[in-house]
Amino acid sequence: MDTSPIIRKTAADLRVAPNFADYDGERRRFSWESVGRELAGQPGGTLNIAWQAVDRHATGALRDKTAFRFRARGRPPRDVGFGELARLSSRFANVLAGLGIARGERVFVLAGRIPELYVAMLGGLRHGAVVSPLFSAFGPEPIATRVNLGAGRVLVTTDVLYERKVAKWRDKMPTLEHVLLVAEDGGGSDIPGTLDLAALMAAAGDESAVAATGAEDMSLLHFTSGTTGTPKGAVHVHGAVATHWATGRYALDLHADDIYWCTADPGWVTGTSYGIIAPLLHGVTSLIDAEEFDAERWYGLLQDEGVTVWYTAPTAIRMLMKAGAEIPRKYRFPQLRFIASVGEPLNPEAVRWGKEVLGLPIHDNWWQTETGGIMIANTPAFDIKPGSMGRPLPGIDAAIMRRHEDGTVTPVEEAGVEGELALKRGWPSMFRAYLNNEERYRKCFAGPDNEWYLTGDLAQRDADGYYWFVGRADDVIKSAGHLIGPFEVESALMEHPAVAEAGVIGKPDPVVGEVVKAFVSLKQGFAASEALRLELLGHARKRLGAAVAPKEIAFLPSLPRTRSGKIMRRLLKARELGLPEGDTSTLESGS
Ligand code: AMP
């Protein structure tokens, strides 16, 4: 645990009266039923995320208020109001209906942060389809794997991404019937075997009935990575909207007149839960920037768009820190009043940097794909201990678990003990399944009545109830905030004719947290060389895409394996970092 001085909240840190000021009192008073009452009013007693996020406002006072302000280099800003968003998402729902897509069927989206992506996701939810966003920096293999696991019937993407990443793999995706393309140049698209989304939207009507979904109906499918096997499809439900509403209030302190900027891409869960749903629920205006990170641009957007609440990630903050103190001196941020961050450990220096450079501390918070929403957070209601993830939000019970030899777990009462972070089930956005993998899902729960969800993270809690991240209990890699499964990378490398075996680790990196590093041994007849190393890097990048591919590859004569044949990634990592090798009793002799 860091011993950095606590950042005490001052009046200057709280430029408006916060939603959440009394931690203990609010936790005592809180109930999910009362959040449910806030969200009541949907016709017929149904619950649909798109209705809650868009229609609720589109027919009322916020009809003409900007819901999304889209920014992209070389184009004028495009503002889409709540009323227009309702019309567009309704049209998209009609497009799906016209294609014969039924409730519960899977619609995948693969695009950058363009307006059509937001419309397709909200329209898909409105229609009662299950929406699965894919990161646009994925390569063809992660895309096809996920579409197949999720039995995608529809894919919405752009002409450029389609030609680059999907077209050649189309016959490997047998469930995929309809590909709807957005032309990146703004015109039409006529690629054989696909449909032009703009034309379909133009022909569709403005009115559609919102699907009569209930709280337990499946809404979103977010893929996440584990240590072994294929990616896991975390199943989420429409009822999750209660968590999005509550956390938007408590952890992001959203107020009606905010200009909010979530920098996460909707290809990952943060960009959906907090880049789309939570701000819309609260009727705030969101800035969406299509461009990649650029320090000058980001400071400019914070200033020029008058951003008030900013939700970003440690890698981005470290990149801003690296870009130096000169750039921010050129800008002013008088509107900015609350900053939060998620996805990876936030260094204490970064929390303090926020205070120095932007005039505000950064509020780290913790959650994961499976939890659907923020669980543990630094909030306006208490002082920040830099380096800590904060405290459980109202409605969330967390614990540190001790594992016993017989496999059972019990909560650790004492402070300062390391164990697995667990959450008591019962919050509305908890994932309901790993798609088609009941056994893997069941393994996540333990304790009496299986009431504890084990997160796979190691953490400890201090005497004041603050939680501190220690590390992952498994081998998954967090690079630039994106969770990467080593198995997926190893499998792609193994497809190269020269590779006999591959082991992939996360190598600590001061900016992006971890970079993906692969160790490979070669088949007979192949010799290690710089040319082969570059060829393997290129092969992996082509298949996996820039977001997942290894940045470094090293050759080894053979990889350390357990006697049962599993590659010991832990040992590869210890050797790479010059750390003690730990327990090697299961190591196969000679590795
Ligand atoms: P994902 O499911 O891709 O959102 O990744 C979730 C994982 O990211 C968690 O299980 C943690 O390992 C890590 N993570 C998320 N937020 C934090 C945080 N504030 N501090 C440390 N690790 C975090």
* Domain ranges within the chain, ordered by starting residue: 22-457, 477-577
Q: What is the mean pLDDT of each run of 10 residues along the chain (591 residues)?
A: 75 82 97 94 94 96 97 97 98 98 98 98 98 97 97 98 97 98 92 97 96 98 89 98 98 97 97 98 98 98 98 97 95 96 94 93 97 97 96 98 90 96 98 97 94 97 97 93 94 96 96 97 96 98 96 96 88 92 73 58
Distance between CA atoms of 462 and 416, rounded to whole angstroms?
A: 5
Distance 402 CA to ligand 1 centre (A): 20
Beta bridge partners of 110: 134, 157
What residues line ligand 1, using a CB cutoff of 6 Å?
224, 269, 342-345, 364-366, 368-369, 389, 455-457, 469, 472, 478, 483
Q: Look up the CATH number of domain 477-577.
A: 3.30.300.30
Q: Which amino acid is at 418?
A: E
Looking at residue 3, its pLDDT comes to 64
The two tokens of residue 555 are 């050759």
Distance 370 CA to ligand 1 centre (A): 10
Distance between CA atoms of 267 and 70, rounded to whole angstroms?
A: 17
Looking at residue 591, its pLDDT comes to 58
Distance 570 CA to ligand 1 centre (A): 19
Distance 472 CA to ligand 1 centre (A): 9
Which ligand 1 atom sits closest to the C-alpha of 389?
19
Distance between CA atoms of 411 and 413, rounded to whole angstroms?
A: 6
Name the nearest CA neighbour of 39 among 239, 235, 286: 239
C-alpha angle with apex 14: 71 to 470, nearest 5 degrees? Answer: 80
Residues in the chain: 591
Distance 482 CA to ligand 1 centre (A): 9
Looking at residue 1, its pLDDT comes to 63
Q: Whose CA is nearest to atom 23 of ligand 1?
A: 344
The two tokens of residue 18 are 């916060």
Which ligand 1 atom sits closest to the C-alpha of 365?
19
Distance 351 CA to ligand 1 centre (A): 17
Distance between CA atoms of 485 and 480, rounded to whole angstroms?
A: 14
Q: Whose CA is nearest to atom 1 of ligand 1?
A: 368
Domain 22-457 shares a fold with domain 477-577: no
Domain spanning 22-457: which CATH class is it, in words? alpha beta
Distance 218 CA to ligand 1 centre (A): 23
The preferred substitution site among 466, 470, 475, 483 for testing ligand 1, maximizing ligand atoms within 8 Å of CB, is 483
Q: Is 215 exposed, middle or buried (0-12, 13-18, 19+ CB in 10 A)?
A: middle
Q: Whose CA is nearest to atom 8 of ligand 1?
A: 343
